[in-house]
């Protein structure tokens, strides 16, 4: 063994930080994206969206939305308040992801959902007849379902 190689080995073994770093596997160039679905805020959004979608599906299946005074009734009024809260949570999720500088698609989708939710609820309220209300409820159900699916979908790497 040459003197230089022996000296380098001795110095490497003498410095515990260098020895530890050398023993570690090579760092990946890009970290795999991490799902946010398990984080409390996003789990709450998922649960609320699923619950509200079940309510909309129930109204559609039972024909309850066809009743006169449906949009001024207590059930719809409470539902509307819950959609306002959900839209605010979606916007909060957007802001959190924006501040982290991660997950561009989900960040944008959450903002879009938060902006579309009040419009879909307003479409239910302003529907001219039962058929139009049924269509508006269907669109609202799709939006609520999308809210669940975009958060629970496996994250994709940034492009």
pLDDT tens digit string along 54-111?
999 999 999 999 998 999 999 999 999 999 999 999 999 999 999 988 757 899 999 9
| Helix 74-100, helix 130-152: angle, nearest 10 | 30
Name the residue with tokens 């879909």.
120
Give the chain's domain count.
1
Query: Has residue 12 been placed in a domain?
Result: no
- The tokens describing 62, both together, are 């039972």
Domain that holds residue 118: 40-152
Query: Has residue 14 been placed in a domain?
Result: no
Predicted TM-score (pTM) of the model is 0.77
Name every residue whose Cβ is closer than 8 Å to that of residue 28 and which is 6 or more positions away in sequence. none
Query: Has residue 25 been placed in a domain?
Result: no
């Amino acid at each position: 063994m040459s003197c230089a190689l022996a000296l380098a080995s001795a110095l490497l073994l003498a410095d515990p930080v260098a020895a530890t770093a050398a023993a570690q596997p090579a760092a990946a160039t890009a970290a795999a994206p991490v799902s946010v679905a398990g984080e409390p805020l996003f789990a709450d959004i998922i649960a609320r969206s699923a619950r509200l979608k079940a309510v909309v599906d129930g109204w559609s299946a039972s024909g309850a939305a066809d009743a006169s005074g449906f949009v001024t009734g207590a059930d719809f009024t409470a539902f509307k308040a819950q959609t306002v809260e959900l839209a605010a949570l979606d916007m909060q999720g957007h802001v959190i992801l924006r501040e982290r500088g991660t997950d561009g698609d989900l960040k944008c989708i959450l903002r879009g959902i938060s902006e579309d939710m009040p419009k879909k609820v307003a479409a239910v309220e302003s529907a001219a007849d039962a058929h139009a209300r049924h269509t508006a409820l269907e669109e609202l159900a799709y939006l609520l379902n999308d809210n669940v699916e975009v958060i629970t979908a496996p994250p994709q790497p940034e492009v």
